[in-house]
Structure 1
Amino acid sequence: MDMLRAMMIFLRVSNTGSLTAAGRDLGLSQSAVSQQIAALERHLSVRLIQRTTRQLTLTDAGEEFRRRSLSILDAVQEATEMASDGEAALRGALRVHAPVGLGQSHIADAAVRFHQLHPDLELDLVLDDRIADLTAEGVDVAIRLGTLPSSGLVARRLGEVRRILVASPAYMAANGIPESIVDLKQHVQVRFNATPNGDAMPLIGPAGLEDCPVRTVFKANNAYALTRALVAGLGLGAAQMPLIRRELEDGRLQRVLPDYEYAPLEVHAVYPSAHFIPVRVRAFVEFLQTETASLLHS
């Protein structure tokens, strides 16, 4: 049997958790995928996938085979790309995951321009504020904000995003302009609903880090929703500079306490394999570094 093809089908099944979804991705029928998996299990004389009426899960042998298959297919791709000496056009699928705010404002445009340079690529851009499981979801590269937890992923720093305290002119006209960090206690805020500090504003100013408790009146898990709330005058709050440049320029938002800022958010590109990074992934990350240089280093 064609072991490389069988490995590819098996990995797609393990990534999607579905014979039907794997077949759809590979252009095969569900029965053809099932036959390939059955043939692979007969060839190896071991059960790789535990089938139930609701889901597919890997057996212990399946998990081990999956890990080794990834290494083997990485090595095959590495050999192929080394043989071409990087001269061939970028081909294949490139799945990119990015947060919604930065994704809509900058990553999407960069992805479009990258595809225009490499039209043989099949580029799949997913904008989502949750943390994706790169391996399980078949993500080649993800853009992540903030401090990275220890995860075994490979990370490349792209820069950082400044965050400032802002409010609308209407809000400040109705509630007064804070003159000091102490004045913030008399105000209300708009914030992300999963911030580790809760209602405390962790602002960095002349005296260093200061936490000021400010009552929250509006929370959301999306930067654009929060920007709309700020522009509407619901409260004051943190905003990522790249996402509100237009609002600052046209006066819909104004900076509050300009001597204070939030700690910047680091921006990283992360990918799952330390052994081999496909040329298309390296090329996209390098392109992204160039495209976002002024954005993430200002």
Structure 2
Amino acid sequence: MDLLAAMGTFVRVAELGSLSAAGRDLKLSQPAVSQKITALEQHLGVRLLNRTTRHVALTEAGRRYYSLVKPVLAAVDEATEMVAGADSPLRGHLRIQAPTGFGQMYLADIAIAFQLKHPGLTTELMLDDRFVDLTEQAVDLAVRFGTLQPSGIIARRLGTLRRILVAAPAYLAKHGTPETPEELSAHRQVRFSWAATDDVMPLAGPAGSRLVAVPTSFLANNTFVLTKALVAGLGLGGAQLPQIRAELATGKLVQIMPAYQYAPLDVHAVYPTSHFLPAKVRAFTDHLRSALSEII
């Protein structure tokens, strides 16, 4: 039995809660995963998992073993990289997660360029507007916007996104151009469906932050859809400056009330809790930060 491989398989089963899910993640058949777990249990002389037809759960011994094995595997990876040296080619699988709109507009090209520089690596880009569990999904690095909630993750700030108020010229011609926050209540806004403020627009201006009630006309959970709605004249709204530069340049959208903006969004690379970041993750983070410095 390859003990390290069996330990790694057990860790993924424990994190995903399923033999078949771990098999898909590790590119192994479900029977192969089961065989590795059984061999590991026989080697240890204890049951690590309670199995049902659809789910597995850690036994008490399994929970203890998982907590001990996880840092051991990280230490093995760290030792391997230290011995191999900094000039060794990057290898393995790099899984990146990011919001859909940002990923389609910018991160896809950034990830492709990184893959071309490191052909020995397999790069996987997962686009999802939800905050996925990094450990459960085996994500090496995720791109997240805004204030990070304390959740055990580690992060590196990559830059800041400006968010400005915009509208289509046709909308303004029909409804007028607001000059002050008070005038916004007579308008309709286009916004993200998951915005915590509902029909309240959080603005930062000369006198500080304030909340302005603005009825909503259209909601979506995708940046490209919201941009289309703004261009179509469904309302006014906030938009990340890099993502609407083309619409501003062609006049499809114009900035309004320049003294008032949404609060800037910090952009972070976040990682699962770990004292050790693999070389592939450190290299992509540096590559990503350099690329974003030319965009945001």
- Per the normalisation by structure 2, the TM-score is 0.96
Counterpart of 1:287, as a letter, is H
Moved more, 166-175 or 42-51: 42-51
In structure 1, the residue matched to 2:226 is 226
In structure 1, the residue matched to 2:131 is 131
Moved more, 42-51 or 107-116: 42-51
Counterpart of 1:177, as a letter, is T
In structure 2, the residue matched to 1:246 is 246
Report matched runs for 1:182-201 at 5 Å: 182-201=182-201
Aligned to 1:258, what secondary structure does the other structure show? coil
Aligned to 1:295, what secondary structure does the other structure show? coil
Q: Deviations over 1:140-171 (max 9, x none)?
A: 00000110000111100001111011111111
- The structure-2 alpha-carbon separation of the partners of 1:206 and 1:2, relative to structure 1 and needing over 3 Å to count, comes to same
Give the count of matched residue pairs: 296
Consecutive unaligned residues in structure 1, runs of 5 or more: none
CA distance in 1, matches of 2:101, 2:61: 41
Shift of 1:295: 2.4
CA distance in 2, matches of 1:232, 1:264: 25
Report matched runs for 1:102-251 at 5 Å: 102-251=102-251
Moved more, 23-32 or 125-134: 23-32
Q: How large is the RMSD of aligned CA atoms in angstroms?
A: 1.4
Shift of 1:27: 4.0
CA distance in 2, matches of 1:275, 1:242: 34
In structure 2, the residue matched to 1:93 is 93
Q: Is the 8 A contact 1:178 1:184 kept in 2?
A: yes
CA distance in 1, matches of 2:183, 2:27: 62
Moved more, 27-36 or 225-234: 27-36
CA distance in 2, matches of 1:141, 1:27: 20
Q: Within the alignment, does 1:63 sit opposite 2:75 as a pair?
A: no
- The structure-2 alpha-carbon separation of the partners of 1:27 and 1:195, relative to structure 1 and needing over 3 Å to count, comes to closer
In structure 1, the residue matched to 2:288 is 288
In structure 1, the residue matched to 2:47 is 47
Consecutive unaligned residues in structure 2, runs of 5 or more: none
CA distance in 1, matches of 2:184, 2:85: 59
Identity score, percent: 54
Q: Is the 8 A contact 1:14 1:136 kept in 2?
A: no
Shift of 1:91: 0.2
CA distance in 2, matches of 1:127, 1:17: 23
Report matched runs for 1:1-16 at 5 Å: 1-16=1-16
Q: Deviations over 1:122-157 (max 9, x none)?
A: 111001000010101100000001100001111000
Counterpart of 1:198, as a letter, is D
CA distance in 2, matches of 1:103, 1:32: 34
Q: Deviations over 1:249-270 (max 9, x none)?
A: 1111111101111101111001
Report matched runs for 1:260-279 at 5 Å: 260-279=260-279
CA distance in 1, matches of 2:52, 2:13: 14
- The structure-2 alpha-carbon separation of the partners of 1:197 and 1:73, relative to structure 1 and needing over 3 Å to count, comes to same
In structure 1, the residue matched to 2:20 is 20
In structure 2, the residue matched to 1:72 is 72
CA distance in 2, matches of 1:163, 1:14: 41
CA distance in 2, matches of 1:57, 1:143: 30
- The structure-2 alpha-carbon separation of the partners of 1:34 and 1:163, relative to structure 1 and needing over 3 Å to count, comes to same
Moved more, 286-295 or 28-37: 28-37
Q: Is the 8 A contact 2:18 2:54 kept in 1?
A: no
